[in-house]
Chain A
Amino acid sequence: MKKEDIKQYFLTILQKEKDVSAGIAAIRTLMEILRKYSYKTIQGLDENLKMGVEAMQETNCPVAAINSGCELFRRFITFTKLDTETFDECKEIMLNRGHLFIKNLNEAKGKIAKRASQFIVDGSKVLTHSRSRVVLQTLKEAAKQNKQFEVFVTKSAPDNSGEKMCKDLKAANIPHTLILDSAVGYIMEQVDFVIVGAEAVVESGGVINKIGTYTMALCAKEMNRPFYVLTESFKFSRLFPLNQADLPDTYKYTPDMRKQDISKLNPLVDYTPPALITLLFTDLGILTPSAVSDELIKLYL
């Protein structure tokens, strides 16, 4: 597959299936590359996969999820002993492992929703930021259990994804209020806890998420409200930002934005340090921030 084809394939998945996150779409694209790969060497295949990742990074989608998802996928499919006779057998094994990986990913959201929905009790007031599929599913799960609760959603500039979240909540019949980004401090004293999603979870146990998450976490800390993060484990990435400035530019800006003078631009994501996070709900279990690095060491070392 050529670069253009890869990009095209990746973007069509995202356009056609609204429910699929960029990370999963990227992994499915890699599977497609693997399936269509016609040469006979493992090394060539690896080169091809790397090229695929590069191609996807050039699209205007969030890079964080693509990076971590792809890295984990490449590691997972090559983790087996590939000492079979022919390359085709090898490929078969890899494809099987790939399917298993995607199957696990699809189940992840359900697991998280099940775990996190227990924390929502009758009469809770929940604050969330932007639009996250996992958060939405968790709220729906809680509503399905006939729990009475209210959700505050920030409008979340610049793409106003909070409005979309409100639409989804309306469809699920969950009481909700849209608030301004600047009203986070005002509303914090009313809410019981904060739930957000994540684009990536880094080695320190902190998260990279839509800009404004850090502000929300700081407010929650000041008001002593629990701050929960819901995230799939494929978003764990081997990155250790020391502060906001230390975040890579590829994470903060889209390729289009990077062509301009970035010093004048607003970043799309920020980094929330682990000290501000109460718990992370993942498909591996409910983790404290410090446990993230343990899981990462298990995955990569």
Chain B
Amino acid sequence: MNQDKEKADQKVGGDGLTKKQRRALKVSAKTAGTSPNEILNNIHITNTKDIKKDVVFKSNENVKCPTQNKPQVVTVEKHFKSEPSEDKPSIDRTKNVDIKGELSKAEVRAQRRAIQEAQRLAKQQKTQEKIDKADEKKPQIVSKDKEKPKVEKKPKLKVAQKIIKPKETKVQLFSHLSVATKEKGSVVVEEVHPAFVRLGAQYASKTILGSNARCLALLSALKSLIESFESPPEQEFCRSLEVALQNCVNYLQIYRPIAVSMTNVLRYFKLVLAELKTNLQDIEKKNSLIKWIDDYMHDEIGKAGEAISMKVEGKISNGDTILTYGCSSLVLRILLEAHNKNKKQFRVIVVDANPLFEGKEMLRRLVNAGIECTYVLINAISFVMNKATKVLLGVHALLANGYVMSRIGTAQIALIAKTYSKPVLVCCETYKFCERVQTDSIVFNEIGDPNELIRPSEKKQADNVNAKLTHLNLMYDVTPPDLVTAVATELAILPCTSVPVILRIDLEKSKK
């Protein structure tokens, strides 16, 4: 009988956990539902060894995040080998899961009850606080448990992010879009690779910015995930990897919505994963996947950029004044190569805008290369446009109806360029082409941190009027194809309207 029970405990479920492990996880998730201090208290109360061992609180220093309100990450990791090079000491806990204290069902039940009791108490206290300071923002976490007692009506509940926002500061029209704020509460994360944890923080703090950079960072994080991944016993490698990857991607999405380029890469990767021969050893599978990623980075991003640079360089003639907006890695590359390799004589006007001021980086690099530059803000666009001869723009994604999705403000630039009849050349690798159709920036967009729009010096003043004022910080806009003269891709310089043709060719290729 006792042996049977032990066996049952050893049984591994679909997610590679024993029953007991799952239970422990559930408890830990629930405890994480309250603020870290309370969790500590709770654990103290229940006084079980398991939970302390399973739940590791990542202190803020572990995650590189320059923002003040750092997201508190509570990770529960199981399947990853520790990476010696990583700067995360928390990885030692991999073994923890295996060491299991023996717990009877009754004990667990009692433990659960204790936790629930503690939560209820905490919540009551909180509601009291809420009444006192109604305005105070305090992100709070919803426990995963569905049986959670309903104390009272809460503000809008977001299940996807497991975060409650006490106060919604959203423009009604854009209420369907998620807001990426820096003030994240603690997030419960299961099975997220440290590389992705760091990536999430980098996305959130915008140290990694731009479609290409984000995609490359994702691919290298994916590589380290594959390298350290070990499939749980009696599970197929590709299947379990896909699950692990999905967890990681879900985690990233908390910090910033996935870019179109990243979606495309992930889709291709899953296709490759599905088509991988099953009779290979895990290590062979790993190698072929890593090789695929390397090839993708090299061909679709590196080589494509080179080809585009060559094509666009032919369109830059001596004496040109080229206007560009923000900072596109591809446009930067084109301009630098035209200047350094091909010795073209041209000037650049860098147009920049609030709140990201990406143009400063562009300006710095161009000036370092010795290119004559002018720097203006977008307010002065009509003043400088008549001095420009060509407009070169970067892209977030090219949509199937030929619309160009790009950093907010690009549509204005294109519109003014059209008014002054200056040719607008958009540079885009074909991996950023997307099947979606969109004619406005409302249906699908990303909302940045509204606080970015307020100057630090005016912060106090703004807070006073904030009750009636909502800030909207949209990240992207779409430019209609009739404002764009041509799209430079690695295949050819094409009109915007040819996007569906390229997509169709890609589809036919992938079918073969």
Interface residues in chain A, defined as those with a beta carbon under 8 Å from any beta carbon in chain B = 203-205, 238, 240, 242-243, 245-246, 274-275, 290, 293-294, 296-297, 300-301
Distance of A245 Cα from B318 Cα, bound (Å): 12
Assess whether A290 is in contact with B498, with CB atoms less than 8 Å apart: yes
> Is B171 interfacial (CB 8 A cutoff)?
no
Q: Which of B464-512 contact A (CB under 8 A)?
A: 482, 485-486, 491-495, 497-498, 501-502, 505
Establish whether residues B492 and A204, one from each chain, have CB atoms under 8 Å apart when the complex forms: no
Given A203-B492, A203-B493, A301-B491, is A242 in contact with B390 using a C-beta cutoff of 8 Å? yes
Report B-chain residues with C-beta under 8 Å of the C-beta of A275: 482
User: In the bound complex, do residue A293 and residue B494 qualify as a contact, i.e. CB atoms below 8 Å apart?
Assistant: yes
Q: How many inter-chain residue pairs (CB < 8 Å) link A and B?
A: 48
Query: Which residues of chain A are within 8 angstroms of B425 by Cβ–Cβ distance?
Result: 242
Task: Tell me which residues across on chain A come within 8 A of B491, comparing CB atoms.
Answer: 297, 301
The answer to the question of B315 belonging to the interface, with a C-beta cut-off of 8 Å to chain A, is yes
Contact in complex: B501, A294 (CB < 8 Å): yes
Cα distance, A242 to B484, chains bound together (Å): 11
Please tell me if the beta carbons of B501 and A293 are within 8 angstroms of each other in the complex. yes
**Closest 4 CB pairs between A and B?**
A242-B423, A290-B497, A240-B493, A293-B498
Which positions in B face A, CB cutoff 8 Å? 315, 317, 390, 423, 425, 482, 485-486, 491-495, 497-498, 501-502, 505
Report yes or no: A297 in contact with B493, Cβ–Cβ below 8 A: no
Q: Tell me the bound Cα distance from A274 to B496 in angstroms.
A: 12
The 8 Å CB contact of A301, one of B482, B497, B505, is: B505
Known pairs A203-B495, A275-B482; A243 contacts B505 (CB<8 A): no
Cβ–Cβ contact B497 & A293, under 8 A: yes
Judge whether A290 and B495 touch: CB under 8 Å: yes
Q: What's the least CB distance linking B188 to chain A, in Å?
A: 48
A-B contact pairs, 9 of them (CB 8 A): A204-B495, A242-B423, A246-B315, A246-B317, A274-B495, A290-B498, A293-B495, A294-B498, A297-B494
CA distance A72 to B505 in the complex (A): 20
Pair A297/B423 contact, Cβ less than 8 Å:
no
CB pair A203–B505 under 8 Å, yes or no, is no
Find chain B residues with CB under 8 A from A204 CB.
485-486, 495
Closest to B491 in A: A301
Complex CA distance for A203 and B495, rounded to whole angstroms: 7
Please, which residues of chain B bring their CB within 8 A of the CB of A238? 492
Distance (whole angstroms) from the CB of B284 to the closest CB of chain A: 34
A274 to B486, CA, bound (A): 11
Q: B486: which A residues are within 8 A, CB to CB?
A: 204, 240, 242
Question: In the complex, what distance in Å separates the CA atom of A297 from the CA atom of B509?
Answer: 14
Contact of B423 among A203, A243, A294 (CB under 8 A): A243
A296 to B320, CA, bound (A): 29
Smallest Cβ distance from A214 to chain B, in angstroms? 13
Residues of B close to A243: CB separation below 8 A? 423
Q: For the complex, what is the distance from the CA of A242 to the CA of B423, rounded to whole Å? A: 6
A264 and B491 CA atoms in complex are apart in Å by 36
Task: Specify the chain B residue showing the minimal Cβ separation from A294.
Answer: B501
Nearest B-chain residue to A274, judged by Cβ: B495
Residues from chain A with a CB closer than 8 A to the CB of B390 are 242
Neighbouring B residues of A296 by C-beta, 8 Å: 492
With A and B bound together, what is the CA distance between A293 and B402 in angstroms?
13
* Distance (whole angstroms) from the CB of A54 to the closest CB of chain B: 20
Contacts of B501 in A (CB 8 A): 293-294, 297
CA distance A242 to B390 in the complex (A): 9
Q: Which residue of B lies closest to A239 (CB)?
A: B493
User: With A and B bound together, what is the CA distance between A274 and B315 in angstroms?
Assistant: 19
> How far, in Å, is A205 (CB) from chain B's closest CB?
6
Chain A hits for B498, CB < 8 A:
290, 293-294, 297
Residues of A close to B494: CB separation below 8 A: 203, 240, 293, 297
B499 to chain A, nearest CB (A): 10
Closest to A248 in B: B314
- With most chain A CB atoms within 10 A of its CB, the pick from B485, B486, B502 is B485
A251 to B: closest C-beta gap in Å: 15
Q: For B497, list chain A residues within 8 Å (CB).
A: 290, 293
CA distance A301 to B494 in the complex (A): 13
**B residues in contact with A245, CB < 8 Å:** 317
Q: Would you call A297 and B505 a contact (CB within 8 A)?
A: yes
Bound-complex Cα distance A294 to B425 (A): 19
Nearest neighbor of A238 in chain B, beta-carbon distance: B492
The CA of A290 and the CA of B486, in the complex, are separated in Å by 12
Residues of A with C-beta under 8 A to B502: 297
Residue of A whose beta carbon sits closest to that of B315: A242
Roughly how many angstroms separate A294 CA and B492 CA in the complex, as a whole number?
12
CB-CB nearest in chain A for B497: A290
Measured between beta carbons, the chain B residues less than 8 angstroms from A301 are 491-492, 505
Q: A246 to B486, alpha carbons, bound, how many Å?
A: 13
CA distance A235 to B502 in the complex (A): 22
Beta-carbon nearest neighbor of A275 in chain B: B482
State in angstroms the CA–CA spacing of A203 and B498 once bound together: 10
Q: How far is the CA of A62 from the CA of B494 in the complex (A)?
A: 25
Task: Give A204 to B484 CA distance when docked, in angstroms.
Answer: 11
- Residues on B with C-beta less than 8 A from A205 are 495
Interchain CA distance A301-B501 in the complex, whole Å: 11
Which single residue of chain A is at the shortest CB-CB distance from B425?
A242
Task: Select the residue from A205, A240, A243, A294 with max chain B CB neighbours within 10 A.
Answer: A240
Q: A246-B423, A296-B492, A297-B491 are in contact. List 13 more A-B contacts (CB 8 A).
A: A204-B485, A204-B486, A204-B495, A205-B495, A240-B486, A240-B494, A242-B390, A246-B315, A290-B498, A293-B497, A297-B492, A297-B498, A297-B502
Give A296's nearest chain B residue, CB to CB. B492
Shortest beta-carbon distance from B162 to chain A in Å:
46
Chain B, residue nearest A295 (CB): B501
CB contacts (< 8 Å) of A242 on chain B: these are 315, 390, 423, 425, 485-486
Least CB distance from B500 to A in Å reads 9
Query: In the complex, A39 Cα to B205 Cα: how many Å?
Result: 66
A246-B320 Cα distance, complex, nearest whole Å: 11
CA distance A301 to B493 in the complex (A): 13
